[in-house]
Chain A
Amino acid sequence: GAGVSQSPRYKVAKRGQDVALRCDPISGHVSLFWYQQALGQGPEFLTYFQNEAQLDKSGLPSDRFFAERPEGSVSTLKIQRTQQEDSAVYLCASSLVGQVNTGELFFGEGSRLTVL
């Protein structure tokens, strides 16, 4: 597709369930980012991939959060044993170049997670 695609767009989970969120970046984009956006807040950085290598995971809030990009294209963000505070929109972004400080990020529409 022409843009970054995320699925599912909406996910409701019961507390304690595991969820998996998928991101299809723009074809050929080297960099892939995950952000978490809570209601009324700006996006908060979670993790960064350059091709298949996860170069920065400093923003992941706990060891319940795990991200992978095994073939350097599609990425999955997995949240284990979801908690209510995990409720947020999870944004994926990709960039053609390998440096965030020079490249424009292209964002997907996000996956809205609600944990009951």
Chain B
Amino acid sequence: AQSVSQHNHHVILSEAASLELGCNYSYGGTVNLFWYVQYPGQHLQLLLKYFSGDPLVKGIKGFEAEFIKSKFSFNLRKPSVQWSDTAEYFCAAAGNSGYALNFGKGTSLLVTP
């Protein structure tokens, strides 16, 4: 079955610390991968996406993610987090068939000053 798993459910970091959030997917065939973010009180919005090409994808606000096919992973990274990065982060995947974007359970990130 197609699925997305996120390993860290709650992460607490100090400002300026580096961030890496894990995401693994289980899909046969071609897969497109996404990271969405939900800031407190706001709607889900796209951080970055991978369809093909360079496996290192850069998104908004200094975030990047690396697609490693051999590990079925698409981890999100940021070298230095800010307090404003406090949010819920969701990894998502879509295959070439069907219409569902499958989400992981999310990781809640708290950045302390």
- Which residues of chain A have a CB within 8 Å of any CB of chain B? 3-4, 31, 33, 35, 40-45, 48, 55-56, 58-59, 91, 93, 100-102, 104-105, 107-110
Contacts and interface: CB of A to CB of B under 8 A. Distances in A.
Given A100-B94, A101-B95, A105-B46, 13 more contacts: A33-B99, A45-B99, A48-B99, A48-B100, A56-B98, A56-B100, A58-B100, A101-B94, A104-B46, A105-B44, A107-B44, A108-B43, A109-B43
Contact of A104 (B42, B49, B98): B49
Given A42-B105, A44-B103, A101 B32 contact: yes
Contact of A3 (B32, B43, B99, B101): B43
Contacts of B22: none
B67 to A, nearest CB: 15
A36 B25 CA distance: 20
B45 A107 contact: yes
B44 A59 contact: no
B49 to A, nearest CB: 7
Interface of B: 4, 6, 32, 36, 42-46, 49, 51, 90, 92, 94-96, 98-106
Given A3-B43, A107-B45, A109-B42, A42 B104 contact: yes
B101 A33 contact: yes
Contacts of A41: 105-106
Contacts of A44: 103
23 contacts: A33-B99, A33-B101, A41-B106, A42-B90, A42-B104, A42-B106, A43-B44, A43-B103, A48-B99, A48-B100, A55-B99, A56-B100, A58-B100, A91-B44, A100-B94, A100-B101, A101-B32, A101-B51, A101-B96, A104-B49, A105-B44, A105-B101, A107-B43
